[in-house]
Amino acid sequence: MSLLLPLRAVLTGAPGAGKTTLLDAAAAAGWRTSPEVAREILRAEGGMALRENDPLAFAEAMLEAHRREYERHAAHPGPVLFDRGLPDVVGFLDVSGLPVAPEIDRACRTLRYTGPVFRAPAWSAIYTQDPERIQDWAGAVASDEAVTSAWKRYGYDPLDLPLAGVEERLALIAQSLH
């Protein structure tokens, strides 16, 4: 007899590719969701300075926030859709040219997501910068490549979402989760 684990699905991919909008639509439809922790850190006092002046400490802050979110949803029996996950921290470090600390690597290997990983690819038609999304278009593409590579490094096979409206993307995810 096999034990079925609750689905822990993830939205990853390029900055500005529609992940937060999609997550908000999922929450509005009654799904259990987890927000993007990096954006929350960046919005906190000193968050942008931390990212700019000490990217390793920023990565550690993201690691701790992802761990808290992972644990917060651990007892929930149904599906949870996370906006990014632990391997995204590795992608951030890779695109920044920084080493991956053993603690971050260990977390990526031990705290596993059990549902599909959906990748929102870079999408120039909807990409815009904002106060927390500071990458230019080339930086957004590089970030997408780095985080996708990181997810694959940890044994996940990200499924590309179409460059389509929220409803179509949400329906595709719903087919995989329910």
pLDDT digits (tens, 9 = 90+) for 23-69: 999 999 999 999 999 999 999 999 999 999 999 999 999 999 999 99
State which amino acid sits at residue 26: A
- Phi first, then psi: give them for residue 65, nearest 5 degrees: -65, -40
- Nearest C-alpha neighbor of 61 from the set 70, 72, 51: 51
Which of the four pLDDT bands, split at 50, 70 and 90, describes residue 162? very high
Predicted pLDDT at 5: 56
pLDDT score of 178 more than 70 = no
Q: Measuring CA to CA, how many Å separate 80 from each of 51, 68, 70, 102, 175?
A: 28, 14, 10, 27, 14
Sign, CA torsion 97/102/103/109: positive
- Gap between the Cα atoms of 167 and 172, Å rounded: 9
Helical pair 102-110 and 86-95, crossing angle rounded to 10 deg: 140
